[in-house]
Amino acid sequence: MFLNPPHPLSIRLDIQRYTLRTRAGSLFPPIWLSWAAASVPNSRVVDAMASDLTVDQVISMTKDYDLIVMQVDSATIVPCIQLSEAIKQYTDVKICFVGPHVSVLSFADQIMKDTRHVDYIARREYDYTVKELTEKKPLQKILGLSHRKNGEINHNPDRPLIENLDELPFVNPIYKRDLPMRVYRIHELRHPFTTIFSSRGCPFGCRYYCRWPAVFDGSKFRARSPKNVYQEILWVKENMREIREILFDEGTFTTIPKRVEEICELIKPLDVTWSCNARADVPFETLRKMKEAGCRLVITGFESANPEILNTIRKGVTLERMEKFVRDCKKVGILVHGTFMIGLPGETKQTIENSFKFAVKMDLDSIQFSVAAPYPGTEFWNYLNERDWLISSNYIDESGLQQAVYNYPNLSGEEIKAATENLHRRFLFRPRFIWKTFRLAFSHKDEMRRVFRSLYEYALYNLNVGRCIT
């Protein structure tokens, strides 16, 4: 069983049911678990959050399996350890932890020392590590595996990153087989949607805060061939007819513009709607071809409007280039969802306000202000740890929302968290944004469903019309 565990609050507080969506209203299918499951015969992916399973229900299911591969994160590591202890009291199934948090060797070692309820840890890209584990290959010969032998903890050498991604099975057949796809929702995407990774790894230098290249899938960009990507999209079109939008969810789909254009040329006849993560430096001609091939929206990390902060995090894109990128997207008709991180080194109340004004100036179509999270293994985490500015290891608060785990001398974590809430309200309730949103809603029936569902969820979780915990 490849398990995305119940929400951490349902474990930590013994709450029997927890709503699927946070105030942000987003829930993604577990792509890494599902992709790895595709390589393991007779496997099953269980997304306890999406399926609204209680802890007891998950535990009772484990008796039917001989290995549980559990996705853990920095925010969920403690409740996941608690869940593994509860599972071991019920059955003697083996448990393997996977994910970025446990890919940091020091953390993997500490977890293996602290609890004997975790039998294995598959570090970094774990597709073949788990596959070999299920094939009963000798433990000491499985690269990327942490395990015990004769009471001693062993950390096998890292597994080389997978170079030929075309050799991996498609993930969407696993989605269709195991997951409740209509439950997953992102405000910015038409519903229902699905996700595809066309590449792994990120070659850009902004690894300061981004844990994926730092500790998980590396800084070497590896891409599926355009034909292979086309074949999976064709499979989705023919076998998942309910899907209204495809998201290229990898860190930077637009890394190589020529490759993007080749993919666009292939999928254009399929007449599918899709979105992608994109850096703010995509050439105009590439954007034009993306639009012609069905691209509806790009999700772009601007992070900050302060040049010094951008230099610190090695973003590699200037404010002027960001503005040109947004203008180019508007010219070709692609929507822009902009994301900003509040709380990066050098942040002040003034730089926060400048980021807000920059977002308004660019007239973004949708927005996300998030607390900058210093995950273990990143330079950001090291920076804060060396200065004793980290104040907590709980990345979510008692209501399940993201919180700042650090204080700066001139800016507290509470102020950073409050700023993200305030900036969202100020941006969303501008008359121009409201007008643009309703105009978009009446442009297409799928847009109308998306916009009005988003308004409902915003009212439910932000205006206290409902309660998060039921």
Coil, strand or helix: which one is 155? Answer: strand
> Quick check: 3 pLDDT over 90?
yes
Q: Is 338 helix (H, G, I), strand (E, B) or coil?
A: strand
- The pLDDT assigned to 461 comes to 61
pLDDT of residue 399: 67
Same fold, 2-155 and 186-428: no
Predicted pLDDT at 306: 97
pLDDT digits (tens, 9 = 90+) for 388-430: 999 998 888 776 678 899 999 999 999 999 999 999 999 999 9
* Per-domain residue ranges of the chain: 2-155, 186-428
pLDDT band with cut points at 50, 70 and 90 for residue 206: confident
Question: Is residue 116 predicted with pLDDT exceeding 50?
Answer: yes
Average pLDDT, rounded, for the chain: 91
pLDDT for position 16: 36
pLDDT-derived band at 466 (thresholds 50, 70, 90) equals very low
Which is nearest to 379 in space by CA: 144, 75, 104?
104
Question: What pTM was estimated for this model as a whole?
Answer: 0.93
Q: Residue 136 has what DSSP assignment?
A: T
- Architecture of the 2-155 domain: 3-Layer(aba) Sandwich (3.40)
State which amino acid sits at residue 230.
Y
Contacts with 192 (C-beta within 8 Å, 6 or more apart), sequence order = 181, 182, 184, 242, 243, 244
Q: Which fold has domain 186-428?
A: TIM Barrel (3.20.20)
Strands ordered across the beta sheet of 120-122: 45-47, 2-4, 67-71, 94-98, 120-122, 145-149, 152-155
Do strands 245-248 and 193-196 pair parallel, antiparallel, or not at all (unpaired)? parallel
- Please confirm whether the linkage preceding 192 is cis (ω < 30° from 0): yes
Confidence of residue 11 (pLDDT cuts 50, 70, 90): low
Give the burial class of 440: count Cβ atoms within 10 A of its Cβ; 0-12 exposed, 13-18 middle, 19 or more buried: middle
Residue 275 and residue 295 in contact, taking contact as beta carbons nearer than 8 Å? yes
DSSP for 263-307?
A: HHHHHGGG---EEEE--TT--HHHHHHHHHTTEEEEEEEEE-S-H
Would you place residue 454 in the very low, low, confident or very high pLDDT band (cuts 50, 70, 90)? confident
The alpha carbon of residue 413 and the mean position of all alpha carbons in its chain are separated, in whole angstroms, by 23
Q: Is the pLDDT of residue 99 over 60?
A: yes
pLDDT exceeds cutoff 80 at 182: yes
